[in-house]
Amino acid sequence: MYSNRPLINQILWRQAARPLKQIFVAIMALVSAIGCETIEQQSASGQVRALSDAEKREVQTLIYDAEDAFANNHLGFTHDGSALTLYRQVLRLDPENAQAQRGVEKIIEHYIALALKAANRFDTATARTLLDRGRQIDPTHPSIAPAEQFIQTIDTSHREVVILRGLTDAKVRATINALVQGVQKTCRFRIFAANDARTRHLYQLLRASFLRNDLNRRPRASSNISTPERLERICQYENA
């Protein structure tokens, strides 16, 4: 069904050396590519049994109902009116129906996307639960393995958080400098502040600290509008 195996192998082989954000983006790009390719493959498939007019009407009704269920986040496995159940009903009538096959793909992609978001919040238990839901639908889906590896990488990360709220500028600089000392190339930072101007200021302080510590590279950092003001250091160690 899928022909993206070489791309998946590339992602898995390179993950250890890539920033987590790049891995995340690569997985989501792969998810999107797979869905488009699946439809193209199905369009080129062989002849199938012609449906009666009554069956065509039933298929179209089921697809409309499935789309409504998906829009309302009613995706469940056991409920008669869930998107998955309705798409599967379509496929029993019309096994080559591209809309239904793509609908099932979208459900899997939805669970994978939610799993990756949970992992980025360091909630790997929820991430695994969500990924398992996608796996139950199709355990061979090519995005399952890269997503699982991403979650495992998060799970073995070492995270340190320092609260900057209420500190003087001198104390903020000293706190950031302490966090930067001994930092490895596998480490990245997340900056949280109340507005864009403040996150940019904290990034400049972080970059200045890198230079003071003779780290001749830009800090890998993401900015987030959130309080309390804080800085996170997340590292993946080879012996984790």
Q: How many CB atoms lie within 10 A of CB 49?
A: 10
- Burial label, 201 (beta-carbon count in 10 A; 0-12, 13-18, 19+): middle
pLDDT tens sequence across 155-183: 888 889 999 999 999 999 999 999 999 88
Q: What is the mean pLDDT of the chain?
A: 84
pLDDT at residue 228 above 50? Answer: yes
Which is more confident, 96 or 20? 96
The whole-number average pLDDT for the span 25-45 is 54
C-alpha distances in angstroms, 175 versus 27, 52, 170, 223, 228?
A: 34, 72, 9, 18, 15
| Least confident segment among 30-34, 206-210, 233-237 | 30-34
Q: What are 130-140's pLDDT values in tens digits?
A: 999 999 999 99
Q: What is the mean pLDDT of residues 187-205?
A: 95
| Mean pLDDT calculated for residue range 99-113 | 96
User: pLDDT, tens digit, for every residue of 61-101?
Assistant: 999 999 999 999 998 776 778 999 999 999 999 999 999 99
| Position 170, amino acid | A
User: What is the reported pLDDT for 3?
Assistant: 43
Q: Residue 5 has which token pair? A: 């195996």
pLDDT for position 19 = 55
Quote the pLDDT of residue 46.
52
